[in-house]
Protein backbone atom coordinates (compact mmCIF):
# COMPACT_ATOMS: atom_id res chain seq x y z
CA UNK A 1 0.00 0.00 0.00
CA UNK A 2 2.97 2.30 0.60
CA UNK A 3 3.80 1.94 -3.08
CA UNK A 4 0.33 3.23 -4.03
CA UNK A 5 0.73 6.26 -1.78
CA UNK A 6 4.10 6.96 -3.39
CA UNK A 7 2.51 6.88 -6.86
CA UNK A 8 -0.17 9.36 -5.80
CA UNK A 9 2.36 11.80 -4.34
CA UNK A 10 4.62 11.53 -7.38
CA UNK A 11 1.67 12.19 -9.70
CA UNK A 12 0.68 15.36 -7.87
CA UNK A 13 4.23 16.68 -7.98
CA UNK A 14 4.33 16.31 -11.76
CA UNK A 15 0.95 17.90 -12.44
CA UNK A 16 1.79 21.61 -12.49
CA UNK A 17 1.92 23.01 -16.03
CA UNK A 18 -0.77 24.82 -18.08
CA UNK A 19 -0.82 25.70 -21.76
CA UNK A 20 -3.63 28.27 -21.49
CA UNK A 21 -2.75 31.90 -22.29
CA UNK A 22 -2.51 34.19 -19.27
CA UNK A 23 -5.99 35.65 -18.78
CA UNK A 24 -6.27 39.45 -18.69
CA UNK A 25 -9.54 41.27 -18.11
CA UNK A 26 -10.28 43.39 -21.22
CA UNK A 27 -9.75 47.12 -20.69
CA UNK A 28 -12.65 49.29 -21.92
CA UNK A 29 -12.95 53.07 -21.64
CA UNK A 30 -15.79 53.81 -19.24
CA UNK A 31 -17.24 57.06 -17.90
CA UNK A 32 -16.42 57.63 -14.25
CA UNK A 33 -20.03 58.18 -13.23
CA UNK A 34 -23.39 57.22 -14.70
CA UNK A 35 -25.22 60.38 -13.65
CA UNK A 36 -24.51 64.09 -13.45
CA UNK A 37 -23.68 64.20 -9.75
CA UNK A 38 -21.53 61.64 -7.89
CA UNK A 39 -23.26 59.84 -5.00
CA UNK A 40 -22.26 57.37 -2.31
CA UNK A 41 -25.69 55.73 -2.25
CA UNK A 42 -26.09 52.10 -3.24
CA UNK A 43 -28.77 50.03 -4.95
CA UNK A 44 -30.58 47.81 -2.45
CA UNK A 45 -30.64 44.08 -3.20
CA UNK A 46 -34.35 44.13 -2.28
CA UNK A 47 -35.06 47.27 -4.28
CA UNK A 48 -38.72 46.42 -4.92
CA UNK A 49 -39.39 47.05 -1.22
CA UNK A 50 -38.56 50.72 -1.87
CA UNK A 51 -42.08 51.04 -3.34
CA UNK A 52 -43.55 50.35 0.11
CA UNK A 53 -46.27 47.90 -0.97
CA UNK A 54 -46.67 44.77 1.18
CA UNK A 55 -48.85 43.04 -1.44
CA UNK A 56 -46.13 43.55 -4.03
CA UNK A 57 -43.56 42.08 -1.63
CA UNK A 58 -45.67 38.93 -1.27
CA UNK A 59 -46.07 38.59 -5.04
CA UNK A 60 -42.31 38.89 -5.60
CA UNK A 61 -41.62 36.26 -2.94
CA UNK A 62 -44.19 33.91 -4.48
CA UNK A 63 -42.66 34.34 -7.93
CA UNK A 64 -39.16 33.61 -6.61
CA UNK A 65 -40.43 30.40 -5.04
CA UNK A 66 -42.68 29.11 -7.83
CA UNK A 67 -41.81 30.64 -11.22
CA UNK A 68 -41.04 27.97 -13.83
CA UNK A 69 -38.44 29.96 -15.77
CA UNK A 70 -36.44 30.56 -12.61
CA UNK A 71 -36.78 26.91 -11.57
CA UNK A 72 -35.50 25.81 -14.98
CA UNK A 73 -32.54 28.17 -14.64
CA UNK A 74 -31.76 26.72 -11.21
CA UNK A 75 -31.87 23.24 -12.72
CA UNK A 76 -29.34 24.27 -15.35
CA UNK A 77 -27.07 25.54 -12.58
CA UNK A 78 -27.30 22.16 -10.85
CA UNK A 79 -26.38 20.43 -14.10
CA UNK A 80 -23.40 22.74 -14.59
CA UNK A 81 -22.25 22.14 -11.02
CA UNK A 82 -22.33 18.38 -11.63
CA UNK A 83 -20.38 18.82 -14.86
CA UNK A 84 -17.78 20.84 -12.99
CA UNK A 85 -17.49 18.17 -10.29
CA UNK A 86 -17.01 15.53 -12.98
CA UNK A 87 -14.30 17.58 -14.72
CA UNK A 88 -12.62 18.27 -11.39
CA UNK A 89 -12.44 14.56 -10.56
CA UNK A 90 -10.10 14.00 -13.54
CA UNK A 91 -7.40 15.86 -11.61
CA UNK A 92 -7.28 13.19 -8.93
CA UNK A 93 -6.32 9.50 -8.89
CA UNK A 94 -8.93 6.87 -9.59
CA UNK A 95 -8.81 4.31 -6.77
CA UNK A 96 -10.72 1.04 -7.04
CA UNK A 97 -11.06 -2.09 -4.96
CA UNK A 98 -10.91 -5.28 -6.99
CA UNK A 99 -11.82 -8.76 -5.77
CA UNK A 100 -12.03 -12.13 -7.50
CA UNK A 101 -12.83 -15.73 -6.60
CA UNK A 102 -12.40 -18.61 -9.12
CA UNK A 103 -12.50 -22.39 -9.06
CA UNK A 104 -10.74 -24.36 -11.82
CA UNK A 105 -10.55 -27.99 -12.76
CA UNK A 106 -7.54 -29.50 -14.52
CA UNK A 107 -6.60 -32.99 -15.70
CA UNK A 108 -3.58 -34.38 -13.87
CA UNK A 109 -0.97 -36.64 -15.44
CA UNK A 110 -2.70 -39.58 -13.79
CA UNK A 111 -5.95 -38.89 -15.62
CA UNK A 112 -7.67 -37.48 -12.58
CA UNK A 113 -9.33 -34.08 -12.18
CA UNK A 114 -7.73 -31.68 -9.72
CA UNK A 115 -9.53 -28.65 -8.28
CA UNK A 116 -7.82 -25.27 -7.95
CA UNK A 117 -9.20 -22.32 -5.96
CA UNK A 118 -7.96 -18.80 -6.40
CA UNK A 119 -8.92 -15.77 -4.30
CA UNK A 120 -7.63 -12.23 -4.78
CA UNK A 121 -8.24 -8.83 -3.21
CA UNK A 122 -6.35 -5.77 -4.37
CA UNK A 123 -6.41 -2.01 -4.62
CA UNK A 124 -5.94 -0.46 -8.05
CA UNK A 125 -4.78 3.10 -8.62
CA UNK A 126 -4.74 4.82 -11.99
CA UNK A 127 -3.83 8.40 -12.68
CA UNK A 128 -3.22 10.52 -15.76
CA UNK A 129 -0.31 12.84 -15.19
CA UNK A 130 -1.50 16.36 -15.92
CA UNK A 131 1.89 17.50 -17.19
CA UNK A 132 0.39 19.88 -19.74
CA UNK A 133 -2.50 21.17 -17.60
CA UNK A 134 -5.27 19.58 -19.66
CA UNK A 135 -7.22 18.35 -16.61
CA UNK A 136 -6.60 21.60 -14.73
CA UNK A 137 -7.78 23.73 -17.66
CA UNK A 138 -10.81 21.47 -18.14
CA UNK A 139 -11.61 21.94 -14.44
CA UNK A 140 -11.26 25.73 -14.68
CA UNK A 141 -13.23 25.87 -17.92
CA UNK A 142 -16.08 23.86 -16.36
CA UNK A 143 -16.04 26.15 -13.32
CA UNK A 144 -16.17 29.30 -15.47
CA UNK A 145 -19.06 27.74 -17.38
CA UNK A 146 -20.82 27.07 -14.06
CA UNK A 147 -20.43 30.72 -13.04
CA UNK A 148 -21.70 31.86 -16.43
CA UNK A 149 -24.82 29.71 -16.10
CA UNK A 150 -25.28 30.94 -12.53
CA UNK A 151 -25.08 34.53 -13.80
CA UNK A 152 -27.72 33.69 -16.42
CA UNK A 153 -29.92 32.41 -13.60
CA UNK A 154 -29.43 35.69 -11.76
CA UNK A 155 -30.34 37.60 -14.93
CA UNK A 156 -33.57 35.61 -15.18
CA UNK A 157 -34.26 36.29 -11.50
CA UNK A 158 -33.69 40.03 -11.97
CA UNK A 159 -35.97 40.12 -15.02
CA UNK A 160 -38.61 38.10 -13.18
CA UNK A 161 -38.71 40.53 -10.27
CA UNK A 162 -38.90 43.50 -12.64
CA UNK A 163 -41.72 41.85 -14.63
CA UNK A 164 -43.71 41.08 -11.47
CA UNK A 165 -43.36 44.67 -10.25
CA UNK A 166 -44.35 46.13 -13.62
CA UNK A 167 -47.26 43.70 -14.01
CA UNK A 168 -48.56 44.50 -10.55
CA UNK A 169 -48.46 48.25 -11.08
CA UNK A 170 -49.91 47.75 -14.56
CA UNK A 171 -52.93 46.04 -12.98
CA UNK A 172 -53.32 48.83 -10.42
CA UNK A 173 -53.21 51.36 -13.25
CA UNK A 174 -55.89 49.51 -15.20
CA UNK A 175 -58.03 49.28 -12.05
CA UNK A 176 -57.83 53.06 -11.68
CA UNK A 177 -58.54 53.66 -15.36
CA UNK A 178 -61.56 51.37 -15.16
CA UNK A 179 -62.82 53.31 -12.14
CA UNK A 180 -62.36 56.60 -14.03
CA UNK A 181 -64.20 55.15 -17.04
CA UNK A 182 -67.08 53.86 -14.89
CA UNK A 183 -67.47 57.24 -13.19
CA UNK A 184 -67.32 59.00 -16.56
CA UNK A 185 -69.84 56.56 -18.04
CA UNK A 186 -72.27 57.23 -15.19
CA UNK A 187 -71.96 60.99 -15.74
CA UNK A 188 -72.40 60.59 -19.52
CA UNK A 189 -75.51 58.43 -19.07
CA UNK A 190 -77.04 60.96 -16.70
CA UNK A 191 -76.28 63.73 -19.16
CA UNK A 192 -77.78 61.72 -22.02
CA UNK A 193 -81.02 61.12 -20.07
CA UNK A 194 -81.19 64.83 -19.25
CA UNK A 195 -80.69 65.85 -22.92
CA UNK A 196 -83.21 63.23 -24.02
CA UNK A 197 -85.88 64.71 -21.77
CA UNK A 198 -85.02 68.20 -23.03
CA UNK A 199 -85.43 66.99 -26.61
CA UNK A 200 -88.79 65.34 -25.83
CA UNK A 201 -90.22 68.64 -24.53
CA UNK A 202 -88.64 70.68 -27.32
CA UNK A 203 -86.02 72.44 -25.22
CA UNK A 204 -83.02 71.19 -27.22
CA UNK A 205 -82.24 69.87 -30.67
CA UNK A 206 -81.92 66.22 -31.70
CA UNK A 207 -78.26 66.71 -32.64
CA UNK A 208 -77.37 67.61 -29.05
CA UNK A 209 -79.22 64.52 -27.79
CA UNK A 210 -77.44 62.28 -30.33
CA UNK A 211 -74.06 63.78 -29.44
CA UNK A 212 -74.71 62.96 -25.77
CA UNK A 213 -75.70 59.41 -26.76
CA UNK A 214 -72.52 59.08 -28.82
CA UNK A 215 -70.43 60.04 -25.80
CA UNK A 216 -72.04 57.22 -23.80
CA UNK A 217 -71.18 54.67 -26.48
CA UNK A 218 -67.63 55.98 -26.77
CA UNK A 219 -66.95 55.63 -23.03
CA UNK A 220 -68.53 52.13 -23.01
CA UNK A 221 -66.17 51.03 -25.79
CA UNK A 222 -63.20 52.41 -23.89
CA UNK A 223 -64.32 50.63 -20.72
CA UNK A 224 -64.68 47.30 -22.53
CA UNK A 225 -61.17 47.66 -23.94
CA UNK A 226 -59.76 48.36 -20.48
CA UNK A 227 -61.53 45.31 -19.02
CA UNK A 228 -59.94 43.19 -21.72
CA UNK A 229 -56.49 44.57 -20.87
CA UNK A 230 -57.13 44.02 -17.17
CA UNK A 231 -57.91 40.34 -17.67
CA UNK A 232 -54.80 39.81 -19.83
CA UNK A 233 -52.62 41.59 -17.25
CA UNK A 234 -54.00 39.47 -14.42
CA UNK A 235 -53.34 36.26 -16.37
CA UNK A 236 -49.78 37.34 -17.13
CA UNK A 237 -49.11 38.05 -13.44
CA UNK A 238 -50.57 34.70 -12.33
CA UNK A 239 -48.27 32.91 -14.77
CA UNK A 240 -45.27 34.85 -13.46
CA UNK A 241 -46.25 33.77 -9.95
CA UNK A 242 -46.16 30.13 -11.04
CA UNK A 243 -49.81 29.46 -10.20
CA UNK A 244 -51.20 26.09 -11.33
CA UNK A 245 -53.98 25.90 -13.98
CA UNK A 246 -56.70 25.90 -11.32
CA UNK A 247 -55.18 28.99 -9.76
CA UNK A 248 -54.98 30.73 -13.13
CA UNK A 249 -58.66 30.06 -13.87
CA UNK A 250 -60.22 30.47 -10.45
CA UNK A 251 -58.08 32.92 -8.48
CA UNK A 252 -58.96 36.56 -8.93
CA UNK A 253 -56.62 39.45 -8.28
CA UNK A 254 -58.25 42.42 -6.48
CA UNK A 255 -59.65 45.00 -8.88
CA UNK A 256 -60.32 47.85 -6.46
CA UNK A 257 -58.86 51.22 -7.43
CA UNK A 258 -55.77 52.18 -5.50
CA UNK A 259 -53.55 55.22 -5.51
CA UNK A 260 -50.30 54.41 -7.26
CA UNK A 261 -47.20 54.96 -5.12
CA UNK A 262 -44.66 57.56 -6.06
CA UNK A 263 -41.60 56.15 -7.77
CA UNK A 264 -38.70 55.89 -5.31
CA UNK A 265 -35.70 58.12 -5.80
CA UNK A 266 -33.10 55.99 -7.55
CA UNK A 267 -29.48 57.14 -7.04
CA UNK A 268 -28.28 58.12 -10.53
CA UNK A 269 -24.78 59.42 -9.77
CA UNK A 270 -23.33 55.96 -9.23
CA UNK A 271 -19.83 55.00 -10.38
CA UNK A 272 -19.60 53.05 -13.62
CA UNK A 273 -18.14 50.12 -11.70
CA UNK A 274 -21.66 49.35 -10.46
CA UNK A 275 -22.36 47.81 -13.84
CA UNK A 276 -20.05 44.98 -12.84
CA UNK A 277 -23.06 43.92 -10.78
CA UNK A 278 -25.06 43.24 -13.93
CA UNK A 279 -25.41 39.46 -14.33
CA UNK A 280 -25.16 39.63 -18.13
CA UNK A 281 -21.72 41.26 -17.81
CA UNK A 282 -20.65 38.61 -15.31
CA UNK A 283 -21.84 35.88 -17.70
CA UNK A 284 -19.87 37.42 -20.57
CA UNK A 285 -16.77 37.61 -18.34
CA UNK A 286 -17.01 33.95 -17.35
CA UNK A 287 -17.64 32.87 -20.96
CA UNK A 288 -14.45 34.70 -21.93
CA UNK A 289 -12.50 32.90 -19.21
CA UNK A 290 -13.90 29.53 -20.30
CA UNK A 291 -12.86 30.21 -23.90
CA UNK A 292 -9.36 31.11 -22.68
CA UNK A 293 -9.00 27.77 -20.87
CA UNK A 294 -10.32 25.94 -23.94
CA UNK A 295 -7.22 27.09 -25.85
CA UNK A 296 -4.99 25.33 -23.32
CA UNK A 297 -7.07 22.16 -23.58
CA UNK A 298 -6.71 22.18 -27.36
CA UNK A 299 -2.94 22.81 -27.15
CA UNK A 300 -2.44 19.87 -24.79
CA UNK A 301 -3.38 17.48 -27.60
CA UNK A 302 0.06 18.14 -29.11
CA UNK A 303 1.67 16.31 -26.20
CA UNK A 304 1.49 12.67 -25.07
CA UNK A 305 -0.95 11.42 -22.48
CA UNK A 306 0.98 9.72 -19.69
CA UNK A 307 -0.77 7.47 -17.18
CA UNK A 308 0.45 5.60 -14.11
CA UNK A 309 -1.18 2.46 -12.74
CA UNK A 310 -0.51 0.43 -9.65
CA UNK A 311 -1.97 -2.66 -8.04
CA UNK A 312 -1.31 -4.01 -4.56
CA UNK A 313 -3.16 -6.78 -2.79
CA UNK A 314 -3.31 -10.43 -1.93
CA UNK A 315 -3.67 -13.70 -3.88
CA UNK A 316 -4.22 -17.07 -2.20
CA UNK A 317 -5.74 -20.46 -3.01
CA UNK A 318 -7.39 -20.42 0.41
CA UNK A 319 -9.84 -17.76 1.50
CA UNK A 320 -8.92 -17.93 5.18
CA UNK A 321 -5.24 -17.28 4.33
CA UNK A 322 -5.94 -14.44 1.86
CA UNK A 323 -4.88 -11.42 3.88
CA UNK A 324 -1.39 -12.41 4.93
CA UNK A 325 2.05 -11.10 4.06
CA UNK A 326 2.90 -14.36 2.35
CA UNK A 327 -0.07 -13.83 -0.03
CA UNK A 328 0.75 -10.24 -1.00
CA UNK A 329 1.26 -9.22 -4.59
CA UNK A 330 1.81 -5.97 -6.46
CA UNK A 331 2.61 -4.56 -9.85
CA UNK A 332 3.19 -1.05 -11.15
CA UNK A 333 3.53 0.49 -14.53
CA UNK A 334 2.86 3.37 -16.83
CA UNK A 335 1.91 4.10 -20.40
CA UNK A 336 1.79 6.99 -22.76
CA UNK A 337 -0.17 7.73 -25.91
CA UNK A 338 0.91 10.35 -28.44
CA UNK A 339 -0.28 11.42 -31.87
CA UNK A 340 2.21 10.72 -34.64
CA UNK A 341 -0.02 11.90 -37.48
CA UNK A 342 -3.40 13.57 -37.02
CA UNK A 343 -3.60 15.34 -40.38
CA UNK A 344 -3.95 18.79 -38.80
CA UNK A 345 -6.79 17.96 -36.38
CA UNK A 346 -5.00 19.36 -33.33
CA UNK A 347 -3.99 22.53 -35.13
CA UNK A 348 -7.55 22.97 -36.38
CA UNK A 349 -8.93 22.57 -32.85
CA UNK A 350 -6.47 25.17 -31.55
CA UNK A 351 -7.48 27.63 -34.27
CA UNK A 352 -11.12 26.91 -33.47
CA UNK A 353 -10.55 27.59 -29.76
CA UNK A 354 -8.76 30.86 -30.56
CA UNK A 355 -11.57 31.95 -32.89
CA UNK A 356 -14.15 31.14 -30.20
CA UNK A 357 -12.13 33.20 -27.72
CA UNK A 358 -12.21 36.16 -30.12
CA UNK A 359 -15.97 35.69 -30.44
CA UNK A 360 -16.35 35.78 -26.64
CA UNK A 361 -14.10 38.85 -26.50
CA UNK A 362 -16.34 40.65 -29.01
CA UNK A 363 -19.43 39.47 -27.14
CA UNK A 364 -17.98 40.88 -23.92
CA UNK A 365 -17.43 44.29 -25.53
CA UNK A 366 -20.88 44.18 -27.08
CA UNK A 367 -22.43 43.36 -23.71
CA UNK A 368 -20.66 46.31 -22.07
CA UNK A 369 -21.83 48.69 -24.82
CA UNK A 370 -25.38 47.37 -24.62
CA UNK A 371 -25.38 47.79 -20.84
CA UNK A 372 -24.29 51.44 -21.02
CA UNK A 373 -26.81 52.10 -23.78
CA UNK A 374 -29.60 50.66 -21.64
CA UNK A 375 -28.47 52.70 -18.63
CA UNK A 376 -28.34 55.88 -20.71
CA UNK A 377 -31.89 55.36 -21.97
CA UNK A 378 -33.13 54.36 -18.51
CA UNK A 379 -31.66 57.46 -16.89
CA UNK A 380 -33.28 59.70 -19.49
CA UNK A 381 -36.66 57.94 -19.32
CA UNK A 382 -36.64 58.08 -15.52
CA UNK A 383 -35.88 61.80 -15.56
CA UNK A 384 -38.35 62.73 -18.32
CA UNK A 385 -41.18 60.65 -16.82
CA UNK A 386 -40.98 62.70 -13.62
CA UNK A 387 -41.42 65.85 -15.70
CA UNK A 388 -44.31 64.31 -17.67
CA UNK A 389 -46.22 63.58 -14.47
CA UNK A 390 -46.06 67.24 -13.52
CA UNK A 391 -47.22 68.30 -17.00
CA UNK A 392 -50.16 65.83 -16.98
CA UNK A 393 -51.24 66.94 -13.52
CA UNK A 394 -51.36 70.55 -14.73
CA UNK A 395 -53.29 69.50 -17.86
CA UNK A 396 -55.95 67.63 -15.85
CA UNK A 397 -56.48 70.54 -13.47
CA UNK A 398 -56.74 72.98 -16.39
CA UNK A 399 -59.30 70.79 -18.21
CA UNK A 400 -61.42 70.43 -15.08
CA UNK A 401 -61.59 74.22 -14.85
CA UNK A 402 -62.23 74.50 -18.60
CA UNK A 403 -65.16 72.07 -18.34
CA UNK A 404 -66.79 74.16 -15.60
CA UNK A 405 -66.42 77.28 -17.75
CA UNK A 406 -67.73 75.53 -20.89
CA UNK A 407 -70.85 74.35 -19.05
CA UNK A 408 -71.49 77.87 -17.73
CA UNK A 409 -71.04 79.37 -21.21
CA UNK A 410 -73.42 76.78 -22.73
CA UNK A 411 -76.12 77.32 -20.08
CA UNK A 412 -75.89 81.09 -20.60
CA UNK A 413 -76.11 80.68 -24.37
CA UNK A 414 -72.62 81.91 -25.26
CA UNK A 415 -71.52 78.68 -26.97
CA UNK A 416 -72.93 75.48 -28.41
CA UNK A 417 -72.94 72.06 -26.77
CA UNK A 418 -70.05 70.82 -28.93
CA UNK A 419 -67.62 72.86 -26.81
CA UNK A 420 -68.83 71.06 -23.68
CA UNK A 421 -68.53 67.63 -25.33
CA UNK A 422 -65.04 68.37 -26.61
CA UNK A 423 -63.86 69.50 -23.19
CA UNK A 424 -65.42 66.44 -21.54
CA UNK A 425 -63.66 64.12 -23.99
CA UNK A 426 -60.35 65.87 -23.53
CA UNK A 427 -60.64 65.62 -19.74
CA UNK A 428 -61.53 61.91 -19.89
CA UNK A 429 -58.54 61.18 -22.15
CA UNK A 430 -56.23 63.26 -19.95
CA UNK A 431 -57.30 61.44 -16.77
CA UNK A 432 -56.63 58.07 -18.40
CA UNK A 433 -53.31 59.33 -19.70
CA UNK A 434 -52.44 60.65 -16.25
CA UNK A 435 -52.65 57.11 -14.89
CA UNK A 436 -50.60 55.78 -17.82
CA UNK A 437 -47.85 58.32 -17.20
CA UNK A 438 -47.75 57.44 -13.50
CA UNK A 439 -47.26 53.82 -14.56
CA UNK A 440 -44.63 54.96 -17.04
CA UNK A 441 -42.78 56.68 -14.20
CA UNK A 442 -42.92 53.55 -12.03
CA UNK A 443 -41.80 51.40 -14.96
CA UNK A 444 -38.91 53.77 -15.62
CA UNK A 445 -37.77 53.37 -12.02
CA UNK A 446 -38.09 49.58 -12.26
CA UNK A 447 -36.14 49.51 -15.50
CA UNK A 448 -33.43 51.71 -14.01
CA UNK A 449 -33.06 49.36 -11.06
CA UNK A 450 -32.85 46.48 -13.52
CA UNK A 451 -30.27 48.06 -15.84
CA UNK A 452 -28.10 48.96 -12.84
CA UNK A 453 -28.12 45.31 -11.74
CA UNK A 454 -30.25 45.90 -8.64
CA UNK A 455 -31.21 42.90 -6.55
CA UNK A 456 -28.12 40.92 -7.56
CA UNK A 457 -25.20 40.03 -5.32
CA UNK A 458 -21.75 39.61 -6.90
CA UNK A 459 -20.18 38.32 -3.68
CA UNK A 460 -20.93 34.74 -4.80
CA UNK A 461 -18.67 35.15 -7.82
CA UNK A 462 -15.98 37.12 -6.00
CA UNK A 463 -15.83 34.49 -3.27
CA UNK A 464 -15.59 31.56 -5.65
Q: Is residue 25 one of the residues assigned to a domain?
A: no
Question: Of the residues 291, 320, 337, which one is the last residue of a structural domain?
Answer: 337
3-state helix, strand, coil in the chain (%, to 5): 65, 10, 25
Residues 281 and 420 in one domain: yes
CA distance 103 to 98: 17
Q: Is residue 192 one of the residues assigned to a domain?
A: yes
pLDDT of residue 403: 92
Over residues 188-214, the pLDDT tens digits come to 999 899 889 989 998 888 998 998 899
Over residues 323-361, the pLDDT tens digits come to 555 455 666 666 767 777 778 888 898 999 999 999 999
Q: What is the CATH number of the domain that holds 392?
A: 1.20.1600.10
Summary mean pLDDT of the chain: 82
pLDDT of residue 134: 85
Question: Of the residues 337, 360, 385, which one is the last residue of a structural domain?
Answer: 337
pLDDT band at 129 (very low <50, low <70, confident <90, very high): confident
- Name the phi and psi angles at 410, rounded to 5: -70, -45
Residues 376 and 273 in one domain: yes
Question: Of the residues 312, 337, 362, which one is the last residue of a structural domain?
Answer: 337
Give the range of the structural domain holding residue 417, as residue numbers without chain letter: 31-91+132-303+346-463
Number of domains in the chain: 2
- Name the phi and psi angles at 174, rounded to 5: -65, -40
pLDDT at 290 over 50: yes
Other beta carbons within 10 angstroms of residue 283's beta carbon come to: 22
Residues 178 and 199 in one domain: yes
pLDDT of residue 227: 94
Q: What is the CATH number of the domain that holds 123?
A: 2.20.200.10
From 25-34, 228-237, 396-405, the region with the lowest mean pLDDT: 25-34
Over residues 89-102, the pLDDT tens digits come to 887 887 777 777 67
Amino acid sequence: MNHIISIICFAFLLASCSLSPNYHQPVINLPQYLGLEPTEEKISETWWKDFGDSTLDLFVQEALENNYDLALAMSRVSQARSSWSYARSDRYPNIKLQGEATRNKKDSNKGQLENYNNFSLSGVVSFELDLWGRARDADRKAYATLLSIKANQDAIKLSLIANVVESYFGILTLNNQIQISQNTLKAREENYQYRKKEFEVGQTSEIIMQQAKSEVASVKAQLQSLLKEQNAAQTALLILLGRDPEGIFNVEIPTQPQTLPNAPIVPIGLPSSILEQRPDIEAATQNLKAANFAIGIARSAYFPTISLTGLAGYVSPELNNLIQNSSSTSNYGGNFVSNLLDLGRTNANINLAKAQYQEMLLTYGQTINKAFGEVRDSLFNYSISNERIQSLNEQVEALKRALVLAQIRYEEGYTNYLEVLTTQSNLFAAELNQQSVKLENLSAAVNLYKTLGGGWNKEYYDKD
